[in-house]
Structure 1
Amino acid sequence: MSESGSEVRKAARKVSTRQQDPEGTRQNIIEVASQEFALNGLSGARIDEIAAKTRSSKRMIYYYFGDKEGLYLSALESAYATVREGEAELDIAGLSAVDGLRRLVEFTFTHHHQHEDFIRMVMIENIHHGQYLERSSVVRDLNVTAIAHIKDLYERGLVEGQFRPGLDPLEIHWQISALCFFNVSNRATFSRLFARDFGAPDMLERLKQNTVEMVLRYVAKPGALGE
């Protein structure tokens, strides 16, 4: 078979795939684009490169997302949706507030470690002063849900006599995010500066447990942790 004939068949397979599974094609574009944006930023990512690594075409990317900024925003929305979906699947309704909060912190720490592209995209969006997220009602709605989960845990902890009064659920979310985010965003620099592998399994486990303890000590009333 000639090289041109092979290219025609390859293009035909791409068209067939798009026609059979448009949502799968769209998700494939977002997954590849997320990696490119996390690696190269909004300005450095190239639609040609993204198209070459997907089962789609440059024209189809523009069809689904309008332009590169539209694709970038969709990738951000997908990244936030993934973490919020994971939180929603946590089985914490039957746990005490302390144990529920512990499980939420453990999940967040592990999720961020396993989704480094998410952390890098959030860092890039902060470089852009959050201007693209500001356009997204999707992300705002997702994060309202996240705060609602913490608010529910906190209020249960107050009723159970485990948590101290006067705390803001949004600020609790901030502290959890800060501790778990830093573990990924600054791991490389800390490892080199202090000649210790902060990505080693035993170090990650210790850092996770430290993070859980710091959050719980911040929220819990004295003596509530059984000390």
Structure 2
Amino acid sequence: MIANMNQPKIKRDPEGTRRRILLAAAEEFANGGLFGARVDQIARRAETNERMLYYYFGSKEQLFTAVLEHAFGALTEAERTLDLSGLAPVEAITRLAHFVWDYYRDHPELLRLVNNENLHEARYMQKSSRIREMISPIVATLGSILSRGESAGLFRSNVDPLRLYVTLSGMGYYIVSNRHTLAATLGRDFSTSTERAEIVQLNTEMLLAFLMRK
């Protein structure tokens, strides 16, 4: 009995365990997709057991949805660090576009998760009300910049911020998501710093050429 009393108490850390599972699952899902990822490997990587994984997330599919929410949540948090309100419209729109493109470059795992979810026709994202809410703030920011630029006589009128956001995303998404196949088919590695700088410059010029009044 005395020996048991002297045993060190195990400190429970439910939030820490949940976070470790999320991070481990994000890596497994990004590498193998929903069906390729293994629950036992996720638990092992998170330094826990499968029982705790099901306790916190219910199922592998629910864990996948949670990983998607976490990935988009991280993007939203990064967006909140942007303060573009004091910048002139041209600089603000350029800064926002570069932020999106840089984020995709620095977080290719997000694009792999999105690619995998597209294979499932967004079945798991549709089960989340949070993801759509997360995207709204940056679209609103983009709309504000467009409105300021139009009022100043700089930008063309009636540019839909959601369509422009989709276009901006595509401009940065493609060369990251398809960098390996581009290198294999075209013989050029667009992930090098030189090639990336040239692409960013080209994309920026195309963006401003579209937006600016003639």
CA contact (8 A) 1:29 1:61 kept: yes
Which residue, out of 18, 21, 34, partners 1:42? 34
Q: What residue in structure 1 maps to residue 206 of structure 2?
A: 214
CA-CA distance at 1:217 after TM superposition: 1.9
CA-CA distance at 1:78 after TM superposition: 0.8
Which residue, out of 150, 167, 186, partners 1:158? 150
CA-CA distance at 1:24 after TM superposition: 2.3
- Bigger drift between 209-218 and 114-123 goes to 209-218
Q: What residue in structure 1 maps to residue 44 of structure 2?
A: 52
- Once residues 98 and 66 of structure 2 are traced to their aligned partners in structure 1, the CA distance between those partners, rounded to angstroms, is 27
CA-CA distance at 1:151 after TM superposition: 1.0
Which residue, out of 167, 171, 195, partners 1:175? 167
Q: What's the CA shift string for 1:140-193, capped at 9, x where partnerless?
A: 111122211111111111112111002110000010010111021111111111
- Once residues 101 and 28 of structure 1 are traced to their aligned partners in structure 2, the CA distance between those partners, rounded to angstroms, is 36
Task: Name the count of aligned residue pairs.
Answer: 207
CA contact (8 A) 1:116 1:184 kept: yes
What root-mean-square deviation, in Å, do the aligned CA atoms of Structure 1 and Structure 2 show?
A: 1.6
Q: What residue in structure 2 maps to residue 116 of structure 1?
A: 108
Residue aligned with 1:163, SS: coil
- Bigger drift between 212-221 and 85-94 goes to 212-221
**1:83 matches 2:75:** yes
For residues 206 and 48 of structure 1, do their structure 2 counterparts lie closer, same or farther at Cα, with a shift above 3 Å needed?
same
Q: What residue in structure 1 maps to residue 132 of structure 2?
A: 140
Code of the residue aligned with 1:62 in structure 2: it is Y
CA-CA distance at 1:213 after TM superposition: 2.0
Which residue, out of 58, 67, 85, partners 1:66? 58
Residue aligned with 2:204, SS: helix
Code of the residue aligned with 1:153 in structure 2: it is I
Q: Taking every aligned residue pair, what percent have the same amino acid on both sides? A: 36
CA-CA distance at 1:56 after TM superposition: 2.1
CA contact (8 A) 1:105 1:211 kept: no
Q: Which structure 2 segments of 5+ residues have no match?
A: 1-7
- Bigger drift between 113-122 and 139-148 goes to 139-148
- Once residues 58 and 143 of structure 1 are traced to their aligned partners in structure 2, the CA distance between those partners, rounded to angstroms, is 32
- Once residues 151 and 77 of structure 2 are traced to their aligned partners in structure 1, the CA distance between those partners, rounded to angstroms, is 27
Code of the residue aligned with 1:194 in structure 2: it is L
Q: What's the CA shift string for 1:176-212, capped at 9, x where partnerless?
A: 0101110211111111112112111111121122222
CA contact (8 A) 1:175 1:215 kept: no
- Bigger drift between 211-220 and 187-196 goes to 211-220
